[in-house]
Structure 1
Amino acid sequence: MSIAVSPDESALPPDADRRYLLAVDLLGGALNRLAAGYEANPAEREDLLQEIHLQLWRSLSGFDGRCSLRSWVYRVAHNVAADHVGRAMRRPTVSLELADLDDTTASVHAHEEDLLDRITLTQLYALLYRLGPIDRQVMLLYLEGESAAVTAEVCGLSPGAVATRIHRLKAMLGQMLKEGVTP
């Protein structure tokens, strides 16, 4: 079943199931990337994504339109992800693996550009995992192309504070990538 996506979020259907389908149509890819930004382990990432979808579906019955659907979805997703990180920190430490690069090195010549993109993305995610929860949330929303106003609404910061954080974090992450800092 496909729902026509209206750019006007005030035209949302009143039914929570339809809202959920609309939210997934609008932001499904962003939720996948958000989960990857919070969880390095593929199996754990899938669990996190399922939990995000479950909590999003549950929460939409309480959505009253005081904020945009986009802000609501991001807020729920980031809260679930932050809880996930908190639970993970209480578990015994597991080493961070960088996306099975050994399996892909055999085909470097055939897929060199793809591999370089994957390595860069893996490095970026590894650096994002080092950030605190608020900084990670701000950077993930920035990478999704969200405005400072939307990010501020989701994170509970002012737009100016968001812009300042983004500037500081971009400089810090750029320097870490330049220096080859790894997890």
Structure 2
Amino acid sequence: MQQQILEGLLSGLRVGQSIAAVCRRGHVVEPNLSPRTWVEQSAATSSTNYPEKCTDCGAVVLTACISCGQPLPGGRPPLYEYRVRPFCACGAAMPWATRKERLYELQNIIEEREALSEADRLLVNEQIEALAREDLPEKQQNRAWQAIQRASPELMGYGGEIVLTLMSEWVREKLVGKK
């Protein structure tokens, strides 16, 4: 049964496409795993054809999206060139996605889920653009998050996980009371 589920996940790959093994920091460990081998190794508790930890940084190695379980698409014929992508086909940011890429995901979530007025949508997008600045002081970050929360109060419910990965501890404590 588990093997059938895993084989179903392969349907998202293009013909001849391999599966990639990438660490949580985005280091490519193996760009061209065989899909059949991936299914067999995922269904069993057998050893893998790649290290469980990255040899560059020691992080855990992934072969599937942590949000939806789809295998990470690897190289494709004829050259099997591979580039690490910041997003899965399901739309979720990968663990190695940058702050700016996670902010893109947040914008996508808001676009897909919220029926905001045009004025609120503009305000939210302006605040997200401000948050993309790496040198934005925490007090200004807090004000930007407050403005977003006022314009889109439901955001913390359906976009909460990505929002929390973007906030500093200080902002999180001020805004949502989490330490």
Find the structure with the greater CA-based Rg.
Answer: 2
Structure with a larger share of its residues in strand:
2
Structure with a larger share of its residues in helix:
1
* Greater relative CO, 1 or 2 (CA 8 Å, sep 6+): 1
